[in-house]
């Protein structure tokens, strides 16, 4: 059930307060933990840039800017601090990330003046309204100081990347860019292109009033009822965390966006058709094959919102630390379907797991596919096998990872200590990621969880305990997500189930 939102409505645009790049820069910080396997950061990087491209193509330039900048911060500065960064087996991923960084930096160069212009215009409007020439002058001065600082840092990042990319690759990227630009000029903007990709965002657009609302909500969440928290350890084994696949080939640079500079409204685009799925009980949305491998098409001119579309510019919820969480939609038949698939294992007291995949559109994450990977289960463990096959499937179907689901054939509904560590790797990739537990023999029999942040996420990220199962401090490490204060919404729609077990 959707909560009413007084600032969004179907088919109407919401005027939002533009934010300057100085403000957006603060939302793009990212810090790696050397204790976390670098493969999770490779996967995170992939999810970051795919989301950035979606936002870019939807005309949501603020979120695109944040994610492209976050990507460059990860790819240029943070990753190199990881102890495994220089391992020879990561050469391919590192090369792909460097090329993607060039794409991201070019996008940032395009976006920055647009965003700053919107912000300056906004300040001028305020000053005009206040009828204060003095304030006008001082604010303009401070903005230009910020401008210079940001430009310097963006340029130095680019020099750093370019220095690390062999000359022939740079030439290739530039040629590809020119070629793709030429092609995109002749192509209609397509939604399939816009859907190439989906992960976590450091902030979201909203008015000052909304930000106050966020703070209020955050305070409210600090008072979650005790019963929403689970902090148990047990003697279970569980699935090993996913291995990220290599970030894909660096896509072409985006064309210059078409923006009406005097218009401070960032407009989402109309509903695109989703790519066809392997198995389709009933199309979730309109049909349409993916016809182009080009991810950045010509930016759409102003397109009217589809009346059926739901726009969520404001966050669904926030973390305990006040960071925004976007809506995550789950199909209402997920639990029933998964239990049916797992039934054979469950009857033998063997665990089953599945991966929740989906798409980002109009700032909403929607689970569109449940993938059952090859796996081996025991009464108290489940281990995914051949993860490359899983990631290949996701990549070829433009699917992002939104979490995982598993059964407790005989145990109650909670996250074991190993579950917490497994889920940690999902949540560092995407703050909205969820862990769903199905415990058919117990009540409650179904739980949708995320780590609290703080204290859960940093606590598990930094946990140095040895062994698969170990006790954790008695703190609220994780919480339900599908109540009225969470970011998960159960919706009635069809989705795909892909069983890779053969």
Name which of 357 and 413 has its Cβ closer to Zn ion: 413
Name which of 246 and 437 has its Cβ closer to Zn ion: 437
User: How near is the Cβ of 33 to Zn ion at its closest, in Å?
Assistant: 13
Task: Give dist(CA 87, CA 426) in Å, integer.
Answer: 23
Q: Does 463 bind Zn ion (CB under 5 A)?
A: yes
User: How near is the Cβ of 455 to Zn ion at its closest, in Å?
Assistant: 13
Piece of 30-38, 94-102, 107-115, 457-465 that binds Zn ion (CB under 5 A): 457-465
Other C-beta atoms within 10 Å of 240: how many? 18
Name which of 364 and 438 has its Cβ closer to Zn ion: 438
Which two tokens mark 270? 């109309």
340-345's contacts with Cβ under 8 Å and 24+ in sequence apart are 341/372, 341/497, 341/499, 342/407, 342/438, 345/377, 345/407, 345/409
* Residue 266, SS3 per DSSP: coil
User: How near is the Cβ of 485 to Zn ion at its closest, in Å?
Assistant: 24
Task: Give dist(CA 495, CA 442) in Å, integer.
Answer: 27
Piece of 146-154, 180-188, 283-291, 461-469 that binds Zn ion (CB under 5 A): 461-469
The mark string for 190-229 relative to Zn ion (x by CB under 5 A, - otherwise) is ----------------------------------------
Which two tokens mark 191? 């939604």
Name which of 398 and 419 has its Cβ closer to Zn ion: 419
Name which of 318 and 384 has its Cβ closer to Zn ion: 384
Name which of 335 and 416 has its Cβ closer to Zn ion: 416
Task: Give dist(CA 248, CA 42) in Å, integer.
Answer: 11
**Residue indicated by tokens 């497994």:** 422
Name which of 154 and 352 has its Cβ closer to Zn ion: 352
Piece of 98-106, 180-188, 378-386, 460-468 that binds Zn ion (CB under 5 A): 460-468
Name which of 217 and 463 has its Cβ closer to Zn ion: 463
* Residue 98, SS3 per DSSP: helix
Task: Give dist(CA 404, CA 373) in Å, integer.
Answer: 11
Which of 475, 459, 422 minimizes the C-alpha distance to 222? 475
User: How near is the Cβ of 406 to Zn ion at its closest, in Å?
Assistant: 6
User: How near is the Cβ of 44 to Zn ion at its closest, in Å?
Assistant: 20
User: How near is the Cβ of 375 to Zn ion at its closest, in Å?
Assistant: 13
> H or E element: which one contains 72?
helix 61-72
**Cα–Cα distances in Å, from 87 out to 44, 82, 83, 167, 248?**
18, 10, 8, 23, 19
Scan residues 370-399 and list those touching Zn ion (CB under 5 A).
Answer: none
User: How near is the Cβ of 481 to Zn ion at its closest, in Å?
Assistant: 16
DSSP state, residue 478: E
Piece of 160-168, 327-335, 428-436, 458-466 that binds Zn ion (CB under 5 A): 458-466
E strand segments, 362-399: 364-372, 375-378, 381-384
Name which of 51 and 416 has its Cβ closer to Zn ion: 416
Residue with nearest beta carbon to Zn ion: 463
Which two tokens mark 279? 């198995």
Task: Give dist(CA 255, CA 257) in Å, integer.
Answer: 6
Task: Give dist(CA 388, CA 402) in Å, integer.
Answer: 17
Helix residue ranges, H only, 81-190: 91-130, 133-164, 167-186
**Residue indicated by tokens 């800017």:** 65
Name which of 225 and 467 has its Cβ closer to Zn ion: 467
Selected from 87, 265, 303, 465, the binder of Zn ion by CB under 5 A is 465
User: How near is the Cβ of 468 to Zn ion at its closest, in Å?
Assistant: 10
Helix residue ranges, H only, 298-432: 334-347, 387-396, 417-429
**Which residues are CB-neighbours of 87 under 8 A, at least 6 positions away?**
38
Size of the site for Zn ion (CB under 5 A): 4
User: How near is the Cβ of 501 to Zn ion at its closest, in Å?
Assistant: 19
Name which of 352 and 359 has its Cβ closer to Zn ion: 352
Scan residues 403-432 and list those touching Zn ion (CB under 5 A).
Answer: 416, 419
Length of the chain counted residue by residue: 502
Name which of 363 and 422 has its Cβ closer to Zn ion: 422
User: How near is the Cβ of 191 to Zn ion at its closest, in Å?
Assistant: 37
Kindly report the backbone phi and psi dihedral angles of residue 328, in degrees, each rounded to the nearest multiple of 5, phi listed first.
-125, 115
* Residue 402, SS3 per DSSP: strand
User: How near is the Cβ of 304 to Zn ion at its closest, in Å?
Assistant: 46
User: How near is the Cβ of 241 to Zn ion at its closest, in Å?
Assistant: 13
Q: Does 490 bind Zn ion (CB under 5 A)?
A: no
Piece of 220-228, 266-274, 275-283, 455-463 that binds Zn ion (CB under 5 A): 455-463
Scan residues 255-314 and list those touching Zn ion (CB under 5 A).
Answer: none
Contacts to Zn ion by CB under 5 A = 416, 419, 463, 465
């Amino acid at each position: 059930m959707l909560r009413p939102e007084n600032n969004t409505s179907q088919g109407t645009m919401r005027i939002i307060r533009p934010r300057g790049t100085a403000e957006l820069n603060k939302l793009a910080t990212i810090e790696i933990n050397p204790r976390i396997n670098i493969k999770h950061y490779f996967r995170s990087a992939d999810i970051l840039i795919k989301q950035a491209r979606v936002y870019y193509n939807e005309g949501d330039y603020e979120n695109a800017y944040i994610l492209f900048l976050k990507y460059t911060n990860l790819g240029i500065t943070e990753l190199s601090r990881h102890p495994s960064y220089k391992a020879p087996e990561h050469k391919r991923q590192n090369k792909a990330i460097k090329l993607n960084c060039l794409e991201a930096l070019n996008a940032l160069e395009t976006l920055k003046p647009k965003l700053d212009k919107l912000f300056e215009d906004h300040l001028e409007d305020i000053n005009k309204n206040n009828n204060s020439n003095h304030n006008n002058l001082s604010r303009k001065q401070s903005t230009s100081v910020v401008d210079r600082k940001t430009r310097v840092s963006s340029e130095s990042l680019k020099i750093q990347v370019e220095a690390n990319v062999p000359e022939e690759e740079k030439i290739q990227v530039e040629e590809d860019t020119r070629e793709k630009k030429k092609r995109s000029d002749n192509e209609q903007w397509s939604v399939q292109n816009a859907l190439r990709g989906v992960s976590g965002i450091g902030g979201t657009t909203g008015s000052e009033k909304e930000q106050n609302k966020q703070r209020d909500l955050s305070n409210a969440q600090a008072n979650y009822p005790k019963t929403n928290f689970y902090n148990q350890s047990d003697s279970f084994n569980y699935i090993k965390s996913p291995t990220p696949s290599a970030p894909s080939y660096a896509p072409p640079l985006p064309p210059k966006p078409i923006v009406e500079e005097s218009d401070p409204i960032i407009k989402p685009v109309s509903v695109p058709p989703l790519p066809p799925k392997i198995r389709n009980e009933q199309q979730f949305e309109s049909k349409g094959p993916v016809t182009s491998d080009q991810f950045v098409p010509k930016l759409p001119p102003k397109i009217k919102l589809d009346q059926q579309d739901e726009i969520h510019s404001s966050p669904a919820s926030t973390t305990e630390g006040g960071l925004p969480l976007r809506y995550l939609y789950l199909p209402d038949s997920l639990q029933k379907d998964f239990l049916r698939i797992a039934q054979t294992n469950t009857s033998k007291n063997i665990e089953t797991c599945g991966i929740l995949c989906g798409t980002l559109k109009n700032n909403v994450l929607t689970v569109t596919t449940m993938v059952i990977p090859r796996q081996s289960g025991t009464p108290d463990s489940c281990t995914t096998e051949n993860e490359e096959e899983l990631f290949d499937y996701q990549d070829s179907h433009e699917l992002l990872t939104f979490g995982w689901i598993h059964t407790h054939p005989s145990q109650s509904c909670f996250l074991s200590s190993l579950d917490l560590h497994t889920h940690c790797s999902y949540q560092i990739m995407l703050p909205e990621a969820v862990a769903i537990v199905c415990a058919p023999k117990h009540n409650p029999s179904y739980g949708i969880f995320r780590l609290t942040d703080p204290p859960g996420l940093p606590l598990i990220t930094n946990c140095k305990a040895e062994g698969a199962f170990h006790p954790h401090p008695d703190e609220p490490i994780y919480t339900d997500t599908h109540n009225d204060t969470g970011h998960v919404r159960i919706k009635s729609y069809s989705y795909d189930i892909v069983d890779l077990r053969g």
